[in-house]
């Protein structure tokens, strides 16, 4: 009997591979960072070959380090940075250029033109998304318009588009597929019919022949080439990173919510079978699809996306040099009792939900001669919590659901100072699970259920365990005053780029 599920967690700054045992515990983990490419202001790119090579390297590494043979692995689950866009040659498998990363803002002008032409409501109604450079569709259009010969090759059916899940699967087993959760992030997928939409494709001028086949999040979609691991392994789970984290957090009932503190910050609330239209600048997205892959098997989510969360700490380290490692930020921030009036709005890549301002830029206000690097570090952590409050407020207005608790995960969720401040400014308990690798765990669960490693969603939900609960202890007046100050600073960051 197989002992493990292998989860491939392909993130924005690193690729990881984790072996999970039947209890949902981490048996082994390997991680490798890869290059970030910033060739122009507002542009963020990856080399698709770096993505693939780092991911296959860590997959082999974790199996070798754990002494796991291919026969010990029941299935592979894949979770990935979403919206990041790759276009490749079907015949050679070679990418036609760098991947355009979800953080990239180069297509803001394309979004403006579509909005000015009156198409925003159509895109939201069909896809659940706002017209923003964050999503994949305008990135594909940009590549076709700007890579020499790309559009003609696409029209001849020679090119394939995919988000990172599709790119990895094409390398692992030769299939061209994506799941509903990733498809729902492209601006080309109708989340109500669960199909690519010809009207939207026409507006974006993207040939349908480029698009992958859409599959359920939990089903066997192919088997890896035998040479990769010694024998073929089934690929049985696929989900975008935030949907996978929601599944891994066992937020399987309507009204449950989680927040992931990764490179960005992503809050998702389960709304069950209802695709609730947001009137507060959130997005409606597919959470996951199981069973036969139809609408009855689909769980929907409301989501708010913050572009800069853990990436702020990286900037303190690499950009300012005020810490030597990310782990130092908590002690530095805790060395002062508060921010001394400093407010940091980390709009380095514009503002995400609920503002959607592609032209906002990073701002630090309230500094005096007494401001130190500790105050800036504390303000940086506070900004992550404040952005989450803005999203929760919008989410509660859309859903009419009052959140009772927030489950948290991701690297920065291990920062106790941040989690306590998050509970304080949210006014609800923040709960951290024993297993914080919930993104990879969700992909493992989706794959494991598909091959019978676990029997049901109920079985995996029963494995969830709390590690620590942070209770809010800030008064209502202080909370309101801090949020007012935050919103004043946000206004000063907006529409900065002319």
Q: Is the pLDDT of residue 302 over 90?
A: yes
Q: What is the pLDDT of residue 295?
A: 66
Annotation-wise, does 241 bind a ligand? yes
Annotation-wise, does 280 bind a ligand? no
Q: What is the pLDDT of residue 367?
A: 97
Annotation-wise, does 300 bind a ligand? no
402-454: pLDDT as tens digits: 888 999 988 889 999 999 999 999 999 999 999 888 999 999 999 999 999 99
Res. 14 pLDDT band, cuts 50 70 90: very high
User: Rounded to whole angstroms, how far apart are CA atoms 104 and 350?
Assistant: 10
Q: Is the pLDDT of residue 294 over 80?
A: no
Annotation-wise, does 82 bind a ligand? yes
**H helices of 318-469, where?**
329-334, 373-399, 416-426, 438-451, 457-461
Beta partners for residue 7, in sequence order: 18, 77
For residue 469, cis peptide bond before it (omega within 30 degrees of 0): no
User: Rounded to whole angstroms, how far apart are CA atoms 429 and 422?
Assistant: 9
User: Rounded to whole angstroms, how far apart are CA atoms 275 and 255?
Assistant: 13
368-386: pLDDT as tens digits: 999 999 999 999 999 999 9
Q: What is the pLDDT of residue 84?
A: 97
Q: Is the pLDDT of residue 332 over 90?
A: yes
Annotation-wise, does 138 bind a ligand? no
Annotation-wise, does 16 bind a ligand? yes
449-476: pLDDT as tens digits: 999 999 999 999 999 999 999 999 999 9
- Tell me what percent of the residues of the chain surpass a pLDDT of 90: 84
Q: Is the pLDDT of residue 1 over 80?
A: no
Q: Is the pLDDT of residue 91 over 80?
A: yes
Average pLDDT over the chain, rounded to an integer: 94
Annotation-wise, does 134 bind a ligand? yes
DSSP state of 348: B
Average pLDDT over residues 187-202: 97
Most confident of the ranges 4-8, 282-286, 401-405, 434-438: 4-8
Annotation-wise, does 314 bind a ligand? yes
Average pLDDT over residues 157-179: 98
Q: Which two tokens stand for residue 103?
A: 């953080």
Annotation-wise, does 92 bind a ligand? no
- Furthest C-alpha separation in the chain: 65
Q: What is the pLDDT of residue 400?
A: 86
Buried b (16+ CB within 10 A) or exposed e, 465-485: eeeeebebebeeeebeebeeb
Q: Is the pLDDT of residue 292 over 70?
A: no
Q: What is the pLDDT of residue 293?
A: 61
- If you write DSSP's letter for every residue of 198-256 in order, what string do you get? HHHHHHHT--GGGSPEEE-SEEEEEE--HHHHSS--EEEEEEEHHHHHHHHTT--STT-
Q: Indicate the burial class of 326 (C-beta count within 10 angstroms; 0-12, 13-18, 19 or more).
A: middle
Q: Give residue for tokens 């002992």.
A: 3
170-183: pLDDT as tens digits: 999 999 999 999 99
Average pLDDT over residues 335-364: 92
């Amino acid at each position: 009997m197989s002992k493990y599920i292998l989860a491939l967690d392909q993130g924005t700054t690193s690729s990881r591979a984790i072996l999970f045992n039947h209890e949902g515990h981490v048996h082994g983990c390997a991680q490798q960072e890869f290059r970030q490419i910033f060739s122009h202001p507002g542009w963020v790119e990856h080399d698709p070959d770096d993505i693939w090579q780092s991911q296959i390297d860590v997959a082999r590494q974790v199996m070798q380090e754990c002494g796991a043979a291919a026969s010990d692995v029941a299935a592979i689950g894949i979770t990935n940075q979403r919206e990041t866009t790759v276009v490749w040659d079907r015949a050679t498998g070679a990418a036609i250029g760098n991947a355009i990363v979800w953080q990239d803002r180069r297509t803001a002008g394309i979004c403006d033109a579509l909005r000015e032409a009156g198409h925003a409501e159509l895109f939201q109604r069909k896809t659940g998304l706002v017209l923003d450079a964050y999503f994949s569709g305008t990135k594909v259009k940009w590549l076709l318009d700007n890579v020499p010969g790309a559009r003609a090759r696409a029209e001849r059916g020679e090119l394939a588009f995919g988000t990172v899940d599709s790119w990895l699967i094409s390398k692992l087993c030769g299939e061209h597929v994506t799941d509903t959760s990733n498809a729902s992030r492209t601006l080309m997928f109708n989340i109500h019919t669960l199909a690519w939409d010809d009207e939207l494709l026409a507006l974006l001028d993207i040939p349908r022949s480029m698009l992958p086949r859409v599959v359920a999040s939990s089903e066997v979609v192919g088997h890896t080439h035998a040479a990769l691991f010694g024998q073929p392994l089934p690929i049985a789970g696929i989900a975008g990173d935030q949907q996978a984290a929601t599944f891994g957090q066992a937020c399987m009932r309507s009204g449950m919510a989680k927040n992931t503190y990764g490179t960005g910050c992503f809050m998702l609330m389960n709304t069950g079978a209802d695709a609730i239209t947001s009137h507060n600048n959130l997005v409606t997205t597919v959470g996951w699809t199981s069973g036969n892959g139809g609408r009855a098997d689909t769980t929907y989510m409301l989501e708010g996306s913050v572009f800069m969360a853990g990436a702020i700490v990286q900037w303190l380290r690499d950009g300012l040099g005020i810490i030597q490692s990310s782990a130092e930020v908590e002690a530095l921030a805790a060395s002062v009792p508060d921010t001394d009036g400093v407010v940091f709005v980390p709009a380095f890549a514009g503002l995400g939900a609920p503002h959607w301002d592609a032209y906002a830029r990073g701002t630090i206000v309230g500094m005096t001669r007494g401001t130190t690097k500790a105050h800036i570090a504390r303000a940086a952590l506070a900004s992550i919590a404040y952005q989450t409050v803005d999203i929760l407020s919008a989410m509660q207005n859309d859903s009419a659901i009052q959140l009772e608790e927030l489950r948290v995960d991701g690297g920065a969720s291990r920062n106790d100072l941040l989690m306590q401040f998050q509970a304080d400014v949210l006014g609800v308990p923040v709960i951290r699970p024993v297993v914080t690798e919930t993104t990879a765990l969700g992909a493992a669960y989706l794959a494991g259920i598909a091959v019978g490693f676990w029997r049901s969603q109920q079985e995996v939900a029963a494995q969830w365990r709390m590690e620590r609960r942070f209770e809010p202890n800030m008064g209502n007046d202080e909370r309101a005053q801090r949020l007012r100050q935050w919103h004043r600073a946000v206004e000063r960051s907006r529409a900065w780029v002319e």
